[in-house]
Homo-oligomer: A and B are copies of this chain.
């Protein structure tokens, strides 16, 4: 087996330690590296403090072969990464002619280029410069003392495309081993149960290995193999995946997907039906989640955010008397939302959500009470959820959306839509 190329990602920025921003760079770089068989062993976050950054770099030199930094390349006064990294490997910072020229030309949209931008053109001697097409601060890479160092800017919309464009090809040359991972995505069964079903396999297997992960509103089982080639790793994984899918059955909503809506769009690509959504407590979140996916417009006819009773009447034509009698958070209103949005937008399927996301209640239902509905030609399905009064608003909204997408997923897959009241009639 080839060298391990163990990696540490050091993210520099006091804003991370103040909790002001989330370290999505480390996550995204890790995900990319796992695809090319490079192991990430540590993420470290340190502030804009030269002494502490220096110590972190010394520690990383001892325990990692590849050091990737994010942040601290920008124009502000507290940007120190290049200086410290260059120093740690005995290199000087020198002006890069092309970058200096480029900086003079660059006027980013709506922003003014200032004198302190020019410090960005100073780079470690002999490094490979990564020109930043997404911002101003260039990145770079160098090899020294048997280590590989890569520096990326901090803002995620610069860091991630730069790492894909420059960092990945740079590192791909180093790695001879391939890690391949596939996930089995599960909704409707907890991580503990999944773990318990496969406990023996997980203890016994090391390559491929298997591990369950809890996500906020669903969970997954990840199967990972290492081999000299991708094809070999794939061959090792395939029978395990099949076994897992068979044993878990219909709670498996997909493989190698990020979320239920991605599973739904894949099903729609095979069986091109359209849908629409009428949302109360999720307030556009279902529409937002689905339209996060490129190509959503082929299947998503549109949606109504009917946060108020007035909007439920104006946009969905729901009789105010029905709302008055049954309440906005009710089986009947949820059903009418799905049915009416389906008809108004002329889609094959209509989804509806009405409930209490909290933190404030309505004096009638417990916070976390949500009715999720689906209407298709001839049938309506309504599911009543009690997601727990101690849950956050964000959890309730996300989980309600997952149930809606899962109902659609089950309908598209020809599986039973479980745990709901089903009303079928030739008039629907």
A45: interface (CB < 8 Å) = yes
Residue from B34, B45, B277, B393 within 8 A of A43 (CB atoms): B45
The answer, yes or no, to whether A288 is at the interface (CB within 8 Å) is yes
Q: Could you tell me the distance in whole angstroms from the C-beta of A417 to the nearest C-beta in chain B?
A: 16
Most B C-beta atoms less than 10 A away, residue of A111, A211, A393 = A211
Interface size for A (C-beta < 8 A) is 123
Quick check: is A324 within 8 A (CB to CB) of the other chain? no
Q: Would you give the shortest CB distance from A407 to chain B, in whole angstroms?
A: 15
Q: A116-B199, A191-B76, A288-B284 are in contact. Are A43 and B17 (CB under 8 A)?
A: yes
Chain A contacts with B in 311-347, Cβ cutoff 8 A: 311, 314-315, 344-346
Identify which of A83-91, A92-100, A235-243, A294-302 touches chain B.
A294-302
A80 interface contact, C-beta 8 A = no
Q: What is the interface of chain A, defined by CB distance below 8 A to chain B?
A: 14-24, 26-34, 39-48, 52, 55-56, 59, 63, 74-78, 108-117, 133-134, 136, 154-157, 161, 181, 188-193, 195-196, 199, 202-203, 211-216, 222, 276-277, 279, 282-288, 290-292, 294-297, 300-308, 310-311, 314-315, 344-346, 358-360, 386-388, 390-395, 397
Q: What are 20 A-B pairs with beta-carbon distances under 8 A?
A: A15-B213, A18-B181, A20-B27, A20-B31, A22-B23, A23-B23, A23-B26, A55-B63, A74-B191, A76-B212, A77-B202, A111-B193, A114-B192, A155-B214, A157-B216, A161-B392, A284-B287, A301-B308, A302-B305, A314-B344
